[in-house]
Structure 1
Amino acid sequence: MSLTVLVTGANGFVGHAVSRALRERGDAVLGLVRRAQSTEPGVREWVLQTSDFAGVQARWPIGFRCDVAIHLAARVHVMRDDSFDPLSAYQATNVAGTLRCAEAARAAGARRFVFVSSIKAIAEVDAGRPLRETDEPVPVDPYGISKLEAERALIDYGRESGLEIVIVRPPLVYGPGVRANFLQLMSVVAKGVPLPLGSITARRSLVFVDNLADALVHCTTDPRAAGETFHVTDGRDLSVSELVQALATQLHAPVRLIPVPVGLLRLAGRLTGRTAQVNRLIGELRLDSSHICERLGWYPPHTVEHGLLETAAWYRSTH
């Protein structure tokens, strides 16, 4: 049976993949966006240009009912936030705005709300083993704090209202259309620029965008997902040096990794004011994604190799 699904942020990097996966399953998709004519073909577009989803329920399309909502839209993490009060800005969108969307979706008939959080809601690094959903959260920046607060607020709202809440925490997402740090890394690798990353052995979990989309679509219907929190990954963690080597292979570029000691990288980070960026390269951040596999019987349909191949092919065709 096909569903009618609200997807917030449907024109974003992950939103396109999720909308496409829903349409392939035969679902009707209402894409909530802030910019017109920016969604996947076949998606009914709803342009809402208010801040923090203000008035989302009052402006809901007349006569439109939905079965499930997937909430992707958020104030995203940036390395340097110039807001006067970054935490309040994140909370306004990621906590208050998320609750407005949940309330509006429930009023329109939704029985389930799938919330895309972030692994930053619980940690920036792992403590010597992959992070589990049950680990004590220790977010360290306004973005991570706001995502954790949103998770908790949704759980409370679901308990009060009966709306089924599913929380998904992805790590770094990559794939065709990726932006920010991953795109910058690909650009540097494609140009054959030497990188001082040859000594980094720390592993970090990743998730291919189509794997994440598949998991989110699965979470819209499986009754066993209700009330659960899931970590979703590709199932294989790479070190930064392994990632660079794999990208270079797919981009047909030379591998130029210089084995600079990690201690020198830390020192360089302190001297240049880029400690956070360096820590993201040298710190372990692995996720244990066995819970979604055991609970739902879900496994990533694509390998890391396939994901990197698709990402590199997109890069070569557009740059």
Structure 2
Amino acid sequence: MRILITGATGFVGSALCNRLEESAALRIAVRGPIDAALRGRCEVAHATLDPAQDWSQALDGIAIVIHCAARVHVMNDDAADPLREFRRINVDGTLQLARQAAAAGVTRFVFISSIKVNGESTAPGQPFTAQQAPAPIDPYGVSKWEAEQQLRKLSAETGMEVVIIRPALVYGPGVKANFLNMMKWLYRGVPLPLGAIHNKRSLVALENLVDLIVTCIDHPRAANQTFLVSDGEDLSTTGLLRRMSRALGKRPRLLPVPAWMLETAAKALGKQSIAQRLCGSLQVDIAHTRERLGWTPPVSVDAALQKTAQHFLEQQKQ
């Protein structure tokens, strides 16, 4: 079985390639140059998510497409019209690939979407489910939801199976952005006013996400389904900081500032979105994923945090 992976040099795509390189014939689609080691491990096709891209060479002989590439969510987007740009890449570019994949005889298209399709937050004890109506808010989430809808329509028209996976926040060795900043603060012993946050947030370890993607490659009950994925254990912000500190071998310096005070201060500074991520809840119910596929996350939260911390500590020595 020959598999095409887009976004193969990204955080998720590279881990997926490492997992599959010995068990499947891989072809990766990349935008620019790649290192010689990766080129030696799999076939390489150069392509972008431009809506006019010709994918015929990349799709030749391919049975399964795993589409990880996307214009990703960014905190400070400098595009003049962010939603238009997200749509151009994540909707139009994705549909260009998917249409050509169906025409080339691809049997299954696995689309890595986002939990942002469901929304930005949940009420306590009311996690997102795969069955509830999506409610995306930001341009990235909107574009992913629109792409999902177009893929389902294409599947109905062509018979190509579509599998949609919506991950919670992904972390693991080599993680960037806010999760990396959190580790840096803890490593340096920076006092953080986050010692009394009692929210609940779902995360997914990179290893768990990759395991689910691999399961969805050929599982017969994955066809035309939408799966939410997390580690199956929700953490408060305070709990995450404490467990990450333990993995780093550090003692956390967490000040017990009430959440309402942080939210009030953030509002005054125009930083409500930051307060929402730190103090608000975002829970994911993976019951459908477990039951439909007979799948369970293979790696525990603490084991995943330990691997993430180990990689971080090794980088600090260089």
Q: TM bucket by the smaller chain? A: over 0.9
Question: What aligned pairs does 1:97-246 form with structure 2 within 5 A after superposition?
Answer: 97-128=93-124, 129-246=126-243
Q: Note if 1:71 corresponds to 2:85.
A: no
Q: CA deviation at 1:51?
A: 5.2
Which of residues 288, 291, 296 in structure 2 aligns to 1:294? Answer: 291
- Secondary structure at 1:269's aligned position in 2? helix
- Superposed CA offset, 1:149-181 (max 9, x none): 011010001100111000000010000111111
Instruction: Assess if the C-alpha contact under 8 Å between 1:200 and 1:262 holds in 2.
Output: yes
Partner of 2:8: 10
Q: Which amino acid aligns with 2:260?
A: G
Q: CA deviation at 1:20?
A: 1.4
Give the whole-Å Cα distance in 2 for the aligned partners of 1:75 and 1:189. Answer: 30
Give the whole-Å Cα distance in 2 for the aligned partners of 1:220 and 1:53. Answer: 25
Q: Which amino acid aligns with 1:188?
A: W
- Secondary structure at 1:52's aligned position in 2? coil
- Secondary structure at 2:41's aligned position in 1? coil
Q: CA deviation at 1:64?
A: 2.9
- Superposed CA offset, 1:242-284 (max 9, x none): 1111111111112111111111111221222211111111111
Instruction: Assess if the C-alpha contact under 8 Å between 1:37 and 1:45 holds in 2.
Output: no
Q: CA deviation at 1:32?
A: 0.8
Q: TM-score, normalised by structure 1?
A: 0.95
Which of residues 33, 38, 41 in structure 2 aligns to 1:36? Answer: 33
Q: CA deviation at 1:53?
A: 5.1
Q: CA deviation at 1:35?
A: 2.3
Unmatched runs of 5 consecutive residues or more in structure 2 = none
Q: TM-score, normalised by structure 2?
A: 0.95
Partner of 2:84: 88
Q: CA deviation at 1:43?
A: 2.2
Give the whole-Å Cα distance in 2 for the aligned partners of 1:250 and 1:142. Answer: 35
Give the whole-Å Cα distance in 2 for the aligned partners of 1:45 and 1:233. Answer: 31
Give the whole-Å Cα distance in 1 for the aligned partners of 2:265 and 2:89. Answer: 35
Give the whole-Å Cα distance in 1 for the aligned partners of 2:97 and 2:278. Answer: 35
- Secondary structure at 1:238's aligned position in 2? coil
- Secondary structure at 1:30's aligned position in 2? strand
Instruction: Assess if the C-alpha contact under 8 Å between 2:3 and 2:26 holds in 1.
Output: yes
Instruction: Assess if the C-alpha contact under 8 Å between 2:2 and 2:24 holds in 1.
Output: yes
Instruction: Assess if the C-alpha contact under 8 Å between 1:71 and 1:115 holds in 2.
Output: yes
Give the whole-Å Cα distance in 2 for the aligned partners of 1:80 and 1:36. Answer: 27
CA RMSD of aligned residues (A): 1.4
Give percent identity, aligned residues only: 44
Q: CA deviation at 1:104?
A: 2.4
Instruction: Assess if the C-alpha contact under 8 Å between 2:51 and 2:88 holds in 1.
Output: no
Unmatched runs of 5 consecutive residues or more in structure 1 = none
Q: Note if 1:256 corresponds to 2:277.
A: no
The number of aligned residues is 313
Instruction: Assess if the C-alpha contact under 8 Å between 1:132 and 1:289 holds in 2.
Output: yes
Instruction: Assess if the C-alpha contact under 8 Å between 2:86 and 2:143 holds in 1.
Output: yes
Partner of 1:21: 19
